[in-house]
Chain A
C-alpha cells in the first residue's frame, strides 16, 4: 500500500530551468508535508515543508504548491543548478498528538541538472 505516490522517477533539466516534482497522497489525516533532498552517501536533509492551511510556501529557489482538495503537492525548483542534482523525496505524516509521527515517503525522484 503506497500512501504517497511521487513522480517522475527521474528528471533531467538544463541549468537555469525549472524542476517540478509531484506527489499525491491518499490519507486525509496527513497534515505535514516535507520535502527531503538526499545526496549519494548522505542521509536525507529537510528542504522545505508545508501544512495544509496554506497553498504555497516559498524558500529561496524552492516552492511547495499544495492542493488539499486534489490531495496533491509539488516541489518547484527555480533556476535549477548542477548542485541541485540529488534525489528528492516527498513525505507526509498524519498529525501530532503529543509527539513525532512517522513519515511516509514517496519513492524518490533523481534530479540531474545539466550545465
Chain B
C-alpha cells in the first residue's frame, strides 16, 4: 500500500499570502489529522477530519482551516501568512479498527517557509 502523500513538499511564501497544502491518505483510511512541527513548539495538533467532518480542532487561530473530500483526501489552508507560520506541516491518516483503536501514519510533510 502506498503511504500518506503530501504535496507540495516545499513551499516558500511571503507574509500576507495564503497557502493550500494537500494530503492523500493511505487507501481505505477515512481519518486525516494535521499537525504543525516547529523547533520551538514541537508537534502540535491542528485538526482532524473524518468522513468530511471536522471532529477535533487544536488551539490555532482561525487563519488555519481545512477540509476533507469524499475520497478522504484533505487540504489545509493558511490565510494571511505570518513569519511564525514557517514550519513542517504533517498529515496523518488512520483506519478505525473493530475495537475502536487506530494508528496514525504520517506523511513526509510540507516544509513551509514564510519570508
Contact = CB atoms under 8 A, between A and B. Distances in A.
A100 B45 contact: no
Q: Interface of chain A, helix or strand or loop or mixed?
A: loop
Nearest to B101: A96
A98 B100 contact: yes
29 contacts: A34-B103, A36-B106, A43-B4, A43-B106, A43-B107, A43-B108, A44-B43, A44-B90, A44-B106, A46-B104, A89-B42, A96-B96, A96-B100, A96-B101, A99-B31, A99-B48, A99-B55, A100-B50, A100-B94, A101-B48, A102-B33, A103-B33, A103-B35, A103-B45, A104-B45, A105-B35, A105-B42, A105-B44, A108-B43
Nearest to A93: B104
Given A43-B4, A49-B103, A100 B108 contact: no
Nearest 9 Cβ contacts at the A-B interface: A43-B106, A105-B43, A102-B45, A100-B31, A96-B100, A107-B42, A100-B94, A44-B106, A43-B108
Contacts of A99: 31, 48, 50, 55, 96
A32 interface: yes
A42 B101 CA distance: 25
User: For this complex, into which size category does the number of interface residues on chain B fall?
Assistant: 20 to 34
Interface string B16-33: 000000000000000101
User: For this complex, into which size category does the number of interface residues on chain A fall?
Assistant: 20 to 34
B56 interface: yes
B95 to A, nearest CB: 9
Interface string B72-85: 00000000000000
